[in-house]
Amino acid sequence: MAGNAGRAAGRRARANATGTETERGPSPIPAAEPGSQPVNRRRRIAIVAALASFPIALCAAGYGVELRVNLSPSYPLGLWRIHALHRDVRVGDLVFICPPQTATFNLASERGYIRPGLCPGWRSPLIKTVVALPGQEIEIASSVTIDGHPLPSSDLQPIDGAGRSLRPFAGGVVPTGMLFLHSDYEGSYDSRYFGPIPAQGVLGLAEPVFTFKP
């Protein structure tokens, strides 16, 4: 159940102390303006270098090591903290969660939606919002409906940024021990496509430490 994941979150968070969440959504990627690529590349390198040094400084200041650097546009870029969850997971919780080792996520890794990380299968954890719990009914059409209520910002994308077809989740009741996840970012790779995933993958709540919008 989701509660078991919450009570185990602290242990898994400490075991997966630092890393990066670099999940890339399926929406098309705009082309760079002529002459801007070297500047943008230098800017990205500078940002990554600054963020990489931040966990060290915070650890020295006593903040601990349960940190992640998010480079995904699904949520603000920057440094996030894994906050151990000692209660049941609720709708609306923003969580760090490890994706399961399935054929769907194997393909997602091959396509670059999910980068390497410290989760099982050497994948990065995702930052997602819990929008449905076991027993709730999901309907998928051009967007998502949960128990008859439309989910805002849930329009589906037919293809990814490379023009490859995206297969949506078929819909149905969220099974026991599973969570349906979402991000308001239209290009997010979330349960609209991969469906509910095990609650036991929850590492804890995601709390911003030093973040900014690109």
Q: What are the residue ranges spanned by the domains of the chain?
A: 2-27+38-212
Q: Is 198 helix (H, G, I), strand (E, B) or coil?
A: strand
State residue 91's pLDDT score. 99
38's tokens:
């070297």
Residues 96-126: tens digit of each pLDDT: 999 999 999 999 999 999 988 889 999 999 9
State residue 73's pLDDT score. 81
Q: Are 10 and 84 in contact (CB under 8 A)?
A: yes
pTM of the model as a whole: 0.73
Q: Are 105 and 121 in contact (CB under 8 A)?
A: yes
Residue of higher predicted confidence among 172 and 4: 172
Q: Among residues 182, 22, 26, which one has the least CA distance to residue 114?
A: 22
Q: Which CATH number fits domain 2-27+38-212: 1.10.10.10, 1.10.260.40, 3.30.565.10, 2.10.109.10?
A: 2.10.109.10
pLDDT of residue 4 exceeding 80, the answer is: no
139's tokens:
């309907």
pLDDT of residue 209 exceeding 80, the answer is: yes
State residue 40's pLDDT score. 56
Residues 140-191: tens digit of each pLDDT: 999 999 999 999 999 999 999 999 999 999 999 999 999 999 999 988 999 9
Report how far residue 120's alpha carbon sits from residue 128's, in angstroms, rounded to the nearest whole number: 18
pLDDT of residue 53 exceeding 80, the answer is: no
Q: Are 54 and 70 in contact (CB under 8 A)?
A: no
Q: Are 17 and 173 in contact (CB under 8 A)?
A: no
State residue 58's pLDDT score. 47
